[in-house]
């Protein structure tokens, strides 16, 4: 009998400082990250934003040792998952497919199609909650590959869309939070602060991204599993660009709690299972400093799950259950996460023919203004509208 394959999906991060520019270019080239009405604009704009952001981003990566730990952690999770599955009697091959950096999803798919032994594949995103911008983007990419690659079409697969309700995952999160609370002199007085990665508000309100609802429910489930009397807050971090993102923003919420006299804060990164730049730099350095200034003197951050044994067991259980359940198709996932409008957005389609010329004109004008502003001031337009700090 053939073997089981598990394809772990993740975002990927630059391994070294020289990778930051091309990594950002890949990220901003993704229509699921910047939603534009015209495909032709995607690459030039991605190049423009990436080249402007590279230096600031490199400074941040410098503070965490010159690169992202994501690849190494994700590979360790894969190794641990393989072993855990083995103890459950499942001999599986694990593949890691990153969306924006090595090992790319394309590389993972290439090696799994060469692996003639793989009979059934489980697609498992390492994002507990679904967002159009994360799991959605990877699913979209895979869907395209499946459509165009006859070799892939021979592999039977199933998708795990999101898994924030998985009891083992909730228990691992609760354990890590409890451990951090118990380091404080008065554990029950600490305020628990869930910080989720943000998305633009329009993803939820216009495109129907279930992300916010899944994050909120996940937070409640973790609190219920933790079963402690602590007060808690949920806020959204890492906003980029000029548009409104999900609120409250982490920085505002920290300041408000400080103003209310909160002294002990336990920060829980909730939308990502590995340490990465937003935990190691943004929370541990930037938000810590902000909290200190706001009078929060005990600032503790709950570590990411990484290879926490209870978490790895939870992933293994997800795989085993998926193998026992009816297969879920990539296109079914999009339907299941109802109301989602992935790129190209349906609402653009009806407007596109009548307004295309108007848009072309506006964009050409904007490009021209940007050039003039930059020539006069020596700074890019995006700097002024806030896409760069």
Ligand X SMILES: C=CC1=C(C)c2cc3[nH]c(cc4nc(cc5[nH]c(cc1n2)c(C)c5CCC(=O)O)C(CCC(=O)O)=C4C)c(C)c3C=C
Binding site for ligand X (CB under 6 A): 11, 13, 27, 33, 53, 57, 68, 70, 127, 131, 133-134, 197, 199-200, 240, 271-272, 276-278
Least distance to Fe ion from the beta carbon of 226, Å? 26
CB nearer ligand X, residue 100 or residue 299: 100
Least distance to Fe ion from the beta carbon of 199, Å? 9
297 marked as part of a ligand binding site = no
Pick from ligand X, Fe ion, none: which does 200 bind, CB < 5 to 8 A by kind?
ligand X
Least distance to Fe ion from the beta carbon of 13, Å? 10
Angle at 9 between CA 3 and CA 10, to 5 degrees: 150
Pick from Fe ion, ligand X, none: which does 134 bind, CB < 5 to 8 A by kind?
ligand X
Contacts within 8 Å (CB) and 24+ apart, 305-310 = 305/169, 305/172, 305/173, 305/176, 305/273, 305/274, 306/73, 306/76, 306/77, 306/273, 306/274, 306/275, 307/73, 307/76, 307/77, 307/80, 308/172, 308/175, 308/176, 309/80, 310/168, 310/171, 310/172, 310/175
CB nearer Fe ion, residue 17 or residue 328: 17
| CB contact at 8 A, 8 and 124 | yes
CB nearer Fe ion, residue 94 or residue 98: 98
Report the distance separating Cα 82 and Cα 69, nearest Å. 20
- Give SS3 for 182: coil
197 marked as part of a ligand binding site = yes
Angle at 11 between CA 7 and CA 13, to 5 degrees: 120
- Give SS3 for 246: coil
The kind and range of the H/E element at 253 are helix 250-259
Pick from Fe ion, ligand X, none: which does 223 bind, CB < 5 to 8 A by kind?
none
Q: Which residues bind Fe ion (CB under 5 A)?
A: 238, 282
Least distance to Fe ion from the beta carbon of 9, Å? 14
Pick from ligand X, Fe ion, none: which does 236 bind, CB < 5 to 8 A by kind?
none
253 to 211, 259, 267: CA distances (angstroms)? 20, 10, 12
Which residue number has the CB closest to ligand X?
Answer: 13
In DSSP terms, which residues pair with 20 in a beta bridge?
none
Report the distance separating Cα 67 and Cα 182, nearest Å. 32
Least distance to ligand X from the beta carbon of 15, Å? 9
Least distance to ligand X from the beta carbon of 135, Å? 8
Pick from ligand X, Fe ion, none: which does 287 bind, CB < 5 to 8 A by kind?
none
CB nearer ligand X, residue 19 or residue 84: 19
CB nearer ligand X, residue 95 or residue 272: 272
CB nearer Fe ion, residue 238 or residue 298: 238
Q: Which residues are documented as binding site?
A: 197, 278
Q: Which residues are documented as binding site for Fe(2+)?
A: 197, 278
């Amino acid at each position: 009998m053939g073997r089981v394959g598990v394809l772990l999906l993740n975002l990927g991060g630059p391994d070294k400082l020289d990778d930051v520019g091309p990594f950002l270019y890949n990220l901003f080239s993704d229509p699921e990250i910047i939603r534009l009405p015209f495909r032709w604009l995607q690459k030039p704009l991605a190049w423009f934003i990436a080249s402007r952001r590279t230096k600031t981003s490199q400074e941040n990566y410098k503070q965490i040792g010159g690169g992202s730990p994501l690849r190494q952690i994700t590979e360790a999770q894969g190794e641990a998952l393989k072993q855990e599955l083995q103890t459950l009697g499942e001999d599986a091959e694990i593949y890691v497919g990153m969306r924006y950096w090595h090992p790319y999803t394309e590389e993972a798919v290439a090696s799994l199609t060469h692996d003639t032994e793989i009979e059934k594949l489980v697609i498992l995103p390492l994002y507990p909650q679904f967002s159009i911008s994360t799991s959605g983007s990877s699913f979209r990419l895979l869907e395209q590959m499946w459509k165009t690659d006859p070799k892939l079409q021979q592999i039977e697969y199933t998708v795990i869309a999101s898994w924030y309700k998985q009891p083992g995952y909730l228990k691992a999160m609760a354990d890590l939070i409890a451990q951090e609370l118990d380091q404080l002199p008065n554990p029950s007085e600490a305020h628990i602060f869930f910080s989720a990665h943000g998305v633009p508000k329009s993803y939820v309100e216009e495109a129907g991204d279930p992300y916010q609802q899944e994050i909120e429910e996940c937070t409640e489930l973790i609190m219920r599993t933790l079963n402690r009397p602590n007060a808690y807050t949920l806020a959204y971090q890492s906003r980029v660009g000029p548009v409104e993102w999900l609120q409250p923003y982490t920085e505002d919420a920290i300041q408000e709690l400080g103003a209310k006299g909160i002294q002990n804060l336990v920060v829980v990164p909730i939308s990502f299972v590995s340490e990465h730049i937003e935990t190691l730099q943004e929370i541990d350095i930037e938000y810590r400093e902000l909290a200190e200034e706001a009078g929060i003197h005990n600032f503790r951050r709950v570590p990411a799950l990484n290879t926490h044994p209870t978490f790895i067991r939870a992933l293994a259980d997800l795989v085993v259950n998926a193998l026992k359940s009816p297969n879920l198709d990539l296109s079914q996932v999009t339907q299941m996460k109802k109301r989602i409008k992935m790129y190209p957005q349906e609402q653009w389609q009806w407007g596109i023919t009548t307004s295309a010329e108007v848009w072309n004109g506006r964009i050409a004008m904007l490009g021209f203004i940007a050039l003039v502003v930059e020539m006069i001031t020596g700074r890019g337009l995006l700097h002024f509208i806030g896409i760069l700090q």
